[in-house]
Structure 1
């Protein structure tokens, strides 16, 4: 079902945004969702005319951000260059990347480094260990913070005002029956995470998935991201396995923090 321009109407009306750029970005997001699509499908998804959609696609194509195969369009490799440059700018990325590979090797599960951006938990690095089950989540994916261990680990070390701002913006939608959807329950969970120093995801984002996440801090109140290990619930939830993963995460995270402070 098509939808009309979803940009903020007040911003567009007040002239604080450029309407044509907003249009291009909505088309890009629709193309990301579809992977490949015809102009007619993108027009249906965005609510813009086919002629308008085609003009934006053609402009993006000339800059390498869209590719065309017959009447099908897909995102171009221009975004790969931009994404790589953005990741290079993140604090300590040259230190963190090999450490995520080390965590994956030691735990034999999926290891990820994630940061918060615009109220979402974003995957920056991902490595799959020997037994790791690679889910559909990919580098660059933006995940609801309240649904995932990494997000809750970050929320726990944010100010109350920032947590409330994120909830107001994104809400607390459920992904499974285990997702925390009540602000008071989430507040209690965050207090527990601050006390124990790590967060868990017990099938809250994906059924039969268990994850543990530890924050990366360069100072008591300077959170930069989280290191996370995830795997099948039947293999991860046992006390021995969970304790082992937490110990590895804490050890490697401490090494990262020391390296960042003294680099």
Structure 2
């Protein structure tokens, strides 16, 4: 456990009171730490964007919360709203098809499963809320990668080690590029035995009011239960559910006319 990081982050708590700007001396007094130590911690927080300072005079320098906290806070609020909006629809979808339904988002260079509704079957997949996955494995992670800007895709793919979990796991960038093109062409993603043998995953994008893909709605189950006809029904219902969640998040379907104007559908 890094005590310096803990000490630095605890300094942010002093800005939760009525006074939104604090001097070095005030923070040192509140923290009961030497001024040089506090100055070093404040400088680190400032470099990271967690704090900013106003220099009125050489002697009057005051610190206040930085915009990085606003950025992070907005992300947390978006995720909370996403889960709140998606969960009732996920439950309905699970009730209709009786297979596990997941909500997957991008976090840095990984995908994270932030919500799950489990089926009533005795045989279930071993997934959990909080699970992280590489972006080349599974229908949800691949879909999130596919809808990123090209430059961001390439940056993330340069870091990938392509570890094989099964013989069906994507093993190189060339294959992954082809898969990304297929996902964007079809509008959905499928995974067949990529994480676990004899399993299938189907994912559709969830979009927000800015038309940005903010999550993947994923249904997964054993191959024995998701035969071709059943899989077709699951794709249809998953697509409908993803569209409903997107609309609740403010997404409005639109098409570009020949004139260049956008027409709502």
Is TM > 0.5 for Structure 1 vs Structure 2? yes
**Runs of at least 5 residues in structure 1 that lack an aligned partner in the other structure:** 1-17, 23-85
- Give the match for residue 102 of structure 1: 92
- Give the match for residue 231 of structure 2: 242
Equivalents in 2 of 1:200, 1:104: separation in Å? 18
Equivalents in 2 of 1:117, 1:151: separation in Å? 10
Paired residues for 1:91-130 under 5 Å: 91-130=81-120
More helix by share: 1
Paired residues for 1:49-88 under 5 Å: none
Greater Cα radius of gyration, structure 1 or 2: 2
**Runs of at least 5 residues in structure 2 that lack an aligned partner in the other structure:** 7-74, 253-265
Equivalents in 1 of 2:95, 2:119: separation in Å? 5
- CA displacement at 1:89 relative to structure 2: 4.9
Secondary structure of the residue aligned to 1:130 is: coil
* Stretches of 4+ aligned residues off by more than 6 angstroms: none
Query: How well do the aligned residues superpose, as a CA RMSD in angstroms?
Result: 2.5
Q: Deviation string for 1:167-210 (max 9, x for gaps)?
A: 22343221111011111111111111111111011001111111
Paired residues for 1:176-187 under 5 Å: 176-187=166-177
> Structure 2 length as normaliser, TM-score?
0.63
User: Aligned in 2, Cα 1:163/1:110: closer, same or farther, shift over 3 Å?
Assistant: same
Contact 2:210 2:251 in 1 (8 A): no
- CA displacement at 1:87 relative to structure 2: 6.4
Q: Aligned match of 1:167 in 145, 157, 160?
A: 157
